[in-house]
Chains A and B, each alone.
Chain A
C-alpha cells in the first residue's frame, strides 16, 4: 500500500492504495464518490471521465498513484454549493439529454472540457469530441443539442420536441 494525496472537488484527500488501484476505483471505493461510473474495461465508454488538472481524462485508464498531487474534478463538484445545476447540467435537463443517467457524468465532464477549449462548437465538432463517450439511450440527439444550448446557441430549429 502506498499513500496517495490529491485535491478532489476542492478538498484535500488522501488514502492508501495498491499500485494497481485505478483512479476510478479510488474515487468510487475509497472516497465514495460514486457519480464516476465504470461502463467498460477498455477505456472506450467514457462514463468515468473526470478532470485532472483541468483536462478531461478517463479515470479507469489512470492509476490513482499517477494522480498524486493532482487537482481532480468529478461530477459531484459540478453543481453549486446550494445544489443549483451548472449551465451544462441545466441544459442536459432542459433538453432531455439523458435517460438512464449512467453515461451522464462522463458526458457532462467531457462537455465541460469541450466548452472550455471551444466555447461555441458546431454540431460536427461536438459529435467528434464525444467519440470517447458512449450513450446507449439517447441516440445522442439531445446530448448534442444540450451542449449546443449550453454554449449559448439557438437550438430551436433542431427537430421539433
Chain B
C-alpha cells in the first residue's frame, strides 16, 4: 500500500499552488522603489584587443545615471574559481583573471565591455548603442587540439599557454598501462565528442541590488541555487564587503540545472553599482544574453580504449580527453573534467587498471561549467559507448558483457579514487529487463520493420557520485569550499515547525519533501512543518543545491537537528510525566512513558518549552536546534536504462519509441517527485542525444544564440517514460539512506539513445560504429549512406 504521508508518500507539492496561480515570486517579479536598470554592452567579437572606449555620447543620453567600463573596476577583484586543480606534475592550474567588465581584451562573444545604468531599460539600451568601442580583432582560438599546440595564439597573455591544466588520475605508470593493452585479447577504441550544451533554465538570470547609505547594508536578489555561496564569493573575493552587511536572497528560481550555481559578473556589478549610483539597480537577462553569458556545459573531445581478455573480462581502460573551459574559469569549471569526471571512469565495472588523462583548454567561447550531471555524463557516455562498441565487435550480448564485468562486492575501491559503499547492479539490471520488456523487443522490431522502419535497442548503465564530500577530502583535491550543509529546526510554541535549510529549491520540491521527513520523525502532520530557504538573513550558512546533494546532505543536517529537538523535548516530557528521560518514547506526536499509559502530546511539550512554568531547571527554555552535516563519503546512485528507437531509413529521422529507466536511489522520500526528477533528466539527455548543440563558427561567433537556433526538446520530440526505482540499496553512511536522484536521467540517457540508433542501423545491415551527438537526421542519414 502506498503511504499517504511521511517518508515514502507521494505527497502533492504545496509549492504548486502559488506557481499554478501566478503567485510565484521570481527575481524578475521583484521591483525596488526607485530602481534603475542596467544594460550590458557585450562584445560581438570573439577575441580582440580593446583600443578605445568612448562613453561620452552615452553619458549625455536621456535618463542615463552612469556608464561603467573596465576602468571602474580596476582594483576590484575578479570572478573567482572555487576549485584549484593540481596538474600531473604537481603544479597548480593556470588561473587567469576574470574581470567584471572587460579590461584590455575581449575573449568571447558576449564578454561584457561596458554597462549603462539608466532610469529605464529602454534608455539604458539606447545609450549603450551610443558607446563607441574600437577593437583590434585577433584570431579566435576555438579548436582545442590546435589551442594546445606550441605557438598557438594566446587567449591570456599572462599565461604560458592555453592549457589550464594537464591532469591525470588512476594508473600513473604508462608502461603498465601499455602492457595491459599489449596483452589484451581485444582492444576497442572510440573517438567521441560530448557536444556543448546550454542549460537553459526557463527563467533567465536576473539580479536586483539595493544599498542603504544609512546602514551601509546591501541586499542582492538573484537567481541562484546557493545564496550563501554567492554572498561569500562576492564579499570575500570580488567586492571586499563584510558578509554581515550583505543579504543575498534567491527567491523562487525558475530552474537551475547547474548554471545558477555560479557567481556571475552581473551579480557583482549590480551590487557595486547600487552603491556607486546610490540607487537600486536591476538587470534581467534576455534569452539571447543568457546564451552568451550563462556558463555552458559538456564540450569534451575524447579517445577511449578498452582492453579485454580472451574471456571478455575488462582488463584496462585508458581515456584521453580535451575539455573545453571557454575563455575564463567559471566558479567550479575546473572540477568538472577532473574530480567529477575522471573519478567516474570505473563506472559499474571491476576494470583493474584505469588511466584518465585530461587537458583542460581555454578557448574564445563562453565559459563552460557544471550542467546537470557535470562530468559524470561525460564519463558515462565514453564508457557505455565503448562497451557497446566492444560488444558489437566481439559479437556478444551487450547486457551480458556488462553483467559479466559488474562490481558485485561492496564496499568497492575503484582504481580512480572512489569507494562505492553499496549497490546491486545485477538486481537493477533485472528490474530494467522486466520493466522494459526486453523479451518482447524482437516482436516490436519485427513490427517496426514491417512498417519500413529500423528499430534499435540501446541499453547502458551509469553510476554517479553525488553529495560531494567530505570537506577534508575535497579540500585535499582542491576545493576552496566545504561541502557540508546546515539546517535549523525551530519549533514554535504551538507545535508547528519552521525548518531553515541551506539547500535551495528551484523545482526539486523541497518545500514538500523535507517536511515529510521531519513530520515522520515526530509523528505529526506534514502541514505543521514549513521549509524556509533562499535568504541568507533567515537560514544558517549552507552550501545550496547542486550535484543531487540536497536530501543526502542538507536533509541529513535536518535529521540531525530534528533528533536534537526530539532529545530536548524528551527531557521536557520526562519532567512533565515525572519519569526518567530514558523511559520516554515518541510516537505519533505523543510522548509516553514506556510500559505505562502516561503520555503528553507534542503540542503540550512545545508549549511548555516556551511557557516554562513547570520546567526542568537544568534545561534551557525554547525548542530550536541547528545541525551542520558533513558526509563521510559521496553517495553512489546507479542504474540501467533502455531506449528503443525507430529510424526512418529514407530520412534518417530518429523517434524515441520507448524509454525505460531502472534506478537505485536508495531510500525514497517522495516517489512522485523522484519520478519527475528522472523524467526531466531523461528529457534533457534525449535533447543532448538528438537535438541540442551549442555551435560556434570559425570566428567564434555563437551560431546558436536563441531558441530559434538551439533545438530545445519540445513535447512532440519526447515520449512517456517508464521509471522504476524499486531496486534500493540504501546509502550506508547517511541517516536517511538516500542517494540523490536529480542528475541520473541526464547522465544515463544519452548513451542509451546513441546505442539504440546504432543498433537500429546495424540491424539494417549498415556497419556504423559511431555517430556524434546530436544525432540529427542529416548525421544519421549520412552515416547510413556514407
Asked if B716 and A134 make an inter-chain contact with CB atoms under 8 angstroms apart, the answer reads no
Residue A11, interface by CB 8 Å: no
- Nearest B residue to A126, CB-CB: B715
Residue B648, interface by CB 8 Å: no
Q: Contact string, B203-226, partner A, CB cutoff 8 A, digits 1/0?
A: 110000000000000000000000
Q: How many contacts A-B (CB < 8 Å)?
A: 200
Asked if A102 and B254 make an inter-chain contact with CB atoms under 8 angstroms apart, the answer reads yes
**Which chain A residues border B716 with CB–CB below 8 Å?**
127-128, 130-131
- Nearest B residue to A27, CB-CB: B22
Asked if B202 and A136 make an inter-chain contact with CB atoms under 8 angstroms apart, the answer reads yes
Residue A16, interface by CB 8 Å: no
Asked if B507 and A139 make an inter-chain contact with CB atoms under 8 angstroms apart, the answer reads no
Select one of B17, B253, B257, B508 contacting A93, CB under 8 A. Answer: B17
Residue A66, interface by CB 8 Å: no
Residue B12, interface by CB 8 Å: yes
Q: Please, how many angstroms separate the alpha-carbon atoms of A108 and B288 in the complex?
A: 25
Minimum distance in angstroms from A12 CB to a CB of chain B: 19
Contact A101:B252 (CB < 8 A) given known A42-B707, A93-B16, A139-B680: yes
Minimum distance in angstroms from A143 CB to a CB of chain B: 7
Asked if A142 and B679 make an inter-chain contact with CB atoms under 8 angstroms apart, the answer reads yes
Asked if A142 and B676 make an inter-chain contact with CB atoms under 8 angstroms apart, the answer reads yes
**Which chain A residues border B252 with CB–CB below 8 Å?**
100-101
Asked if B21 and A78 make an inter-chain contact with CB atoms under 8 angstroms apart, the answer reads yes
Residue B310, interface by CB 8 Å: no
In the complex, 6 of the A-B residue pairs with CB atoms within 8 angstroms, ordered by the A residue number, are A42-B707, A99-B507, A100-B254, A139-B721, A161-B671, A161-B675
Q: Please, how many angstroms separate the alpha-carbon atoms of A145 and B286 in the complex?
A: 31
Asked if A45 and B24 make an inter-chain contact with CB atoms under 8 angstroms apart, the answer reads no
Asked if B203 and A37 make an inter-chain contact with CB atoms under 8 angstroms apart, the answer reads yes
Residue B19, interface by CB 8 Å: yes
Number of A residues near B (Cβ < 8 Å) is 60
Minimum distance in angstroms from B557 CB to a CB of chain A: 23
Asked if B707 and A40 make an inter-chain contact with CB atoms under 8 angstroms apart, the answer reads yes
Asked if B254 and A37 make an inter-chain contact with CB atoms under 8 angstroms apart, the answer reads yes
- Nearest A residue to B18, CB-CB: A101
Contact A141:B679 (CB < 8 A) given known A93-B16, A102-B202: yes
Docked complex: B256-304 residues within 8 A CB-CB of A: 256-257, 286-288
Contact A41:B203 (CB < 8 A) given known A93-B17, A161-B672: no
Select one of B15, B21, B201, B707 contacting A83, CB under 8 A. Answer: B21
Asked if B122 and A99 make an inter-chain contact with CB atoms under 8 angstroms apart, the answer reads no
Asked if B204 and A76 make an inter-chain contact with CB atoms under 8 angstroms apart, the answer reads no
Asked if B706 and A42 make an inter-chain contact with CB atoms under 8 angstroms apart, the answer reads yes
Docked complex: A66-109 residues within 8 A CB-CB of B: 74-76, 78-79, 83, 85, 89, 92-94, 96, 98-105, 108
Residue from A40, A93, A137 with most neighbouring chain B CB atoms (10 Å): A137
Residue A59, interface by CB 8 Å: no
Q: Please, how many angstroms separate the alpha-carbon atoms of A108 and B683 in the complex?
A: 20
Asked if B720 and A159 make an inter-chain contact with CB atoms under 8 angstroms apart, the answer reads yes
Minimum distance in angstroms from A67 CB to a CB of chain B: 18
Contact A102:B16 (CB < 8 A) given known A127-B715, A127-B716: no
Known A99-B509, A131-B714, A161-B672; further 4 A-B contacts with Cβ < 8 A: A35-B24, A127-B716, A134-B712, A143-B715
Minimum distance in angstroms from A5 CB to a CB of chain B: 22
Minimum distance in angstroms from B770 CB to a CB of chain A: 26
Asked if A141 and B287 make an inter-chain contact with CB atoms under 8 angstroms apart, the answer reads no
Asked if A131 and B715 make an inter-chain contact with CB atoms under 8 angstroms apart, the answer reads yes
Asked if B680 and A136 make an inter-chain contact with CB atoms under 8 angstroms apart, the answer reads yes
Select one of B204, B676, B708 contacting A138, CB under 8 A. Answer: B676
Q: Contact string, A41-73, partner B, CB cutoff 8 A, digits 1/0?
A: 110110100000000000000000000000000
**Which chain A residues border B508 with CB–CB below 8 Å?**
99
Residue A34, interface by CB 8 Å: yes
Asked if B122 and A20 make an inter-chain contact with CB atoms under 8 angstroms apart, the answer reads yes
Interface of chain A, main secondary structure: loop
Residue B724, interface by CB 8 Å: yes
Asked if A100 and B707 make an inter-chain contact with CB atoms under 8 angstroms apart, the answer reads no
**Which chain A residues border B718 with CB–CB below 8 Å?**
127, 139-141
**Which chain A residues border B347 with CB–CB below 8 Å?**
none
Q: Please, how many angstroms separate the alpha-carbon atoms of A78 and B287 in the complex?
A: 27
Residue B506, interface by CB 8 Å: yes
Q: Please, how many angstroms separate the alpha-carbon atoms of A102 and B720 in the complex?
A: 22
Residue A1, interface by CB 8 Å: no
Docked complex: B543-559 residues within 8 A CB-CB of A: none
Asked if B675 and A136 make an inter-chain contact with CB atoms under 8 angstroms apart, the answer reads no
Contact A40:B287 (CB < 8 A) given known A94-B12, A96-B672, A101-B16: yes
- Nearest B residue to A94, CB-CB: B12
Q: Please, how many angstroms separate the alpha-carbon atoms of A128 and B22 in the complex?
A: 25
**Which chain B residues border A135 with CB–CB below 8 Å?**
202, 715
**Which chain B residues border A41 with CB–CB below 8 Å?**
286-288, 706
Contact A137:B287 (CB < 8 A) given known A96-B675, A160-B723: no
**Which chain A residues border B21 with CB–CB below 8 Å?**
35, 75-76, 78-79, 83, 85, 89
Minimum distance in angstroms from B114 CB to a CB of chain A: 21
Asked if A74 and B22 make an inter-chain contact with CB atoms under 8 angstroms apart, the answer reads yes
Select one of B287, B506, B683 contacting A139, CB under 8 A. Answer: B683
- Nearest A residue to B674, CB-CB: A161
Minimum distance in angstroms from A101 CB to a CB of chain B: 3
Q: Please, how many angstroms separate the alpha-carbon atoms of A41 and B285 in the complex?
A: 10
Q: Please, how many angstroms separate the alpha-carbon atoms of A75 and B200 in the complex?
A: 23
Contact A92:B680 (CB < 8 A) given known A40-B707, A44-B707: no
Residue A151, interface by CB 8 Å: no
Q: Contact string, A4-17, partner B, CB cutoff 8 A, digits 1/0?
A: 00000000000000
Q: Contact string, B87-120, partner A, CB cutoff 8 A, digits 1/0?
A: 0000000000000000000000000000000000
Q: Please, how many angstroms separate the alpha-carbon atoms of A76 and B23 in the complex?
A: 8
**Which chain A residues border B706 with CB–CB below 8 Å?**
40-42, 44
- Nearest B residue to A105, CB-CB: B22
Residue B443, interface by CB 8 Å: no
Asked if B720 and A137 make an inter-chain contact with CB atoms under 8 angstroms apart, the answer reads no
Q: Contact string, B765-777, partner A, CB cutoff 8 A, digits 1/0?
A: 0000000000000
Minimum distance in angstroms from B771 CB to a CB of chain A: 23
Contact A45:B287 (CB < 8 A) given known A104-B20, A134-B707: yes
**Which chain B residues border A89 with CB–CB below 8 Å?**
20-21
Q: Please, how many angstroms separate the alpha-carbon atoms of A85 and B29 in the complex?
A: 22
Minimum distance in angstroms from B380 CB to a CB of chain A: 18
Residue B255, interface by CB 8 Å: yes
